Amino acid sequence: MSKNKYQSKQDRKHRVFAIIAVVIIAAMIASLLLAGLTGCGLQTASASDYIDRTSFYFDTVINIRIYDNQDESILDGCMELASKYDSLLSANTKDSDIWNINHSDGSPVTVDPDTISLLDTALYYAELSDGAFNPCLGSVISLWDFTSEDEQDHVVPDSESIEEALMHTDYNSIIIDSDNLSVTLSDPDAKIDLGAIAKGFIADKIKDYLVDNNVHSAIINLGGNALLVGAKTDDSSFTVGIEKPFSGSGEYITTVSATDKSVVTSGIYERYFELDGTIYHHLIDPSTGYPTQNSLYSVTIISDNSVDGDALSTACFVLGPEEGMKLIESLDGIEAAFVYNDYSIEYSEGF
């Protein structure tokens, strides 16, 4: 019998927690062998050196780890922020700002200032990437199911449905009235989906909160997107592992040493299904409605703000190696590592 989406999500949640538990145990063992490596935010230091909290938001596992403050109430505050933004920005939660806009039949909707700010940034990156990053792709995204545990859900939508959905993906139909805190989706059949940018925005908000609470050494890990707060307590850099695509064991293909930076990866190896030898993954080419076809497995972006890294990692993947790297080289303060499907890596000039 086919499972419903809620059951699949619960299964996924349990599976992801199981994986995290394995990774934590592996990290503890690894810490005996390898001092100082942080992979996807997992610091291999002894537990007494930090406080941390793991939870499940945004359909993924998140972990916040603080090294220079033992106040557990700060972690409570981080999780409250995660909960607040999950309720505000999820396209799937009834009465979130995004849900309300998507179900407004073209009428203006009053929203939170944070929603306005994030949509503004999303439209900026839509323009910058010539629509490769498209925050108005919900009609197409909803035709696909890349996360179900049930193979029966792994279906390639028929081309008529894709063609029809593609007619409702113009991001210019998102009309923002900042003065009145209102958003109008002028195409009633269009749907906003901020899955490619909102985790970065939320990580930045959590970082602001930590700094306001006198935390200057921490790692915010939202589903593998790492945002570093300051440096280690001895002032040395954190080291973040970049996952080797399809390794399935938390193996790293390379590492990044950094202080106070965001390290965000978009890849095809976590949300995908395989059918008749073809991989169908979640990074959609807005010009076709199908998974982007190119020689990349993943793109990692290093930036100051995580919202920028999140939007750019998706944008660059969809743009492909040449156009993607050209975009990165045109931007100040942004570096990238592109992992190809032969596991070679191309770095931006200042990496």
Q: Pull the structure tokens for residue 344.
A: 């070679």
According to DSSP, the residues that pair with 51 across neighbouring strands are 66
CA dihedral 275, 280, 281, 283 (to 10 degrees): -170
Choose, by CB under 6 A, the member of 205, 207, 261, 282 that binds ligand FAD: 282
The size of the interface with ligand FAD (CB under 6 A), counted in residues, is 31
Residue closer to Mg ion, measured from CB, 111 or 203: 203
Q: How far apart are CA 195 and CA 198, in angstroms?
A: 6
Question: Among the candidate windows 72-80, 175-183, 190-198, 267-275, which touches Mg ion by CB under 5 A?
Answer: 190-198
Q: Hunting for tokens 């291999």 — which residue is that? A: 44
Q: How far apart are CA 229 and CA 94, in angstroms?
A: 33
The answer to whether the beta carbons of residues 238 and 259 sit under 8 Å apart is: yes
Question: Among the candidate windows 65-73, 90-98, 251-259, 307-315, which touches Mg ion by CB under 5 A?
Answer: 307-315
- Contacts with ligand FAD in 119-148 (CB under 6 A)? 133-135, 137, 141, 147
The answer to whether the beta carbons of residues 178 and 157 sit under 8 Å apart is: no
75 binds, among Mg ion, ligand FAD, none (CB under 5 to 8 A by kind): none
- Contacts with ligand FAD in 216-235 (CB under 6 A)? 223, 225
336 binds, among Mg ion, ligand FAD, none (CB under 5 to 8 A by kind): none
- For CA atoms 165, 116, 88, 146, the dihedral sign is positive
Choose, by CB under 5 A, the member of 129, 148, 217, 314 that binds Mg ion: 314
Choose, by CB under 6 A, the member of 38, 44, 60, 63 that binds ligand FAD: 60
Choose, by CB under 5 A, the member of 40, 98, 183, 196 that binds Mg ion: 196
Strands 345-347 and 225-230: unpaired
306 binds, among Mg ion, ligand FAD, none (CB under 5 to 8 A by kind): none
Q: Pull the structure tokens for residue 323.
A: 């156009």
Residue 231 CB: number of other CB atoms within 10 A?
Answer: 17
Q: Is 313 an interacting residue with respect to Mg ion (CB under 5 A)?
A: yes
CB of 342 to Mg ion, least distance (A): 23
- Contacts with ligand FAD in 165-194 (CB under 6 A)? 193
Choose, by CB under 6 A, the member of 43, 217, 221, 266 that binds ligand FAD: 266
Q: Pull the structure tokens for residue 163.
A: 């063609």
Q: Which of 166, 170, 193 is nearest to 99 (CA)?
A: 193
Q: Is 324 an interacting residue with respect to ligand FAD (CB under 6 A)?
A: no
Q: How many residues does the chain have?
A: 351
Q: How far apart are CA 73 and CA 49, in angstroms?
A: 17
* Helix (H) / strand (E) containing 66: strand 60-66
Question: Among the candidate windows 16-24, 40-48, 54-62, 102-110, which touches ligand FAD by CB under 6 A?
Answer: 54-62
Q: Pull the structure tokens for residue 169.
A: 């993906």
Q: Is 341 an interacting residue with respect to ligand FAD (CB under 6 A)?
A: no
In the complex, the residues that contact ligand FAD under the rule CB under 6 A are 58-60, 85-86, 89-90, 92, 133-135, 137, 141, 147, 193, 195-196, 198-199, 223, 225, 266, 271, 282-284, 286, 310, 313-314, 318
In the complex, the residues that contact Mg ion under the rule CB under 5 A are 196, 266, 310, 313-314
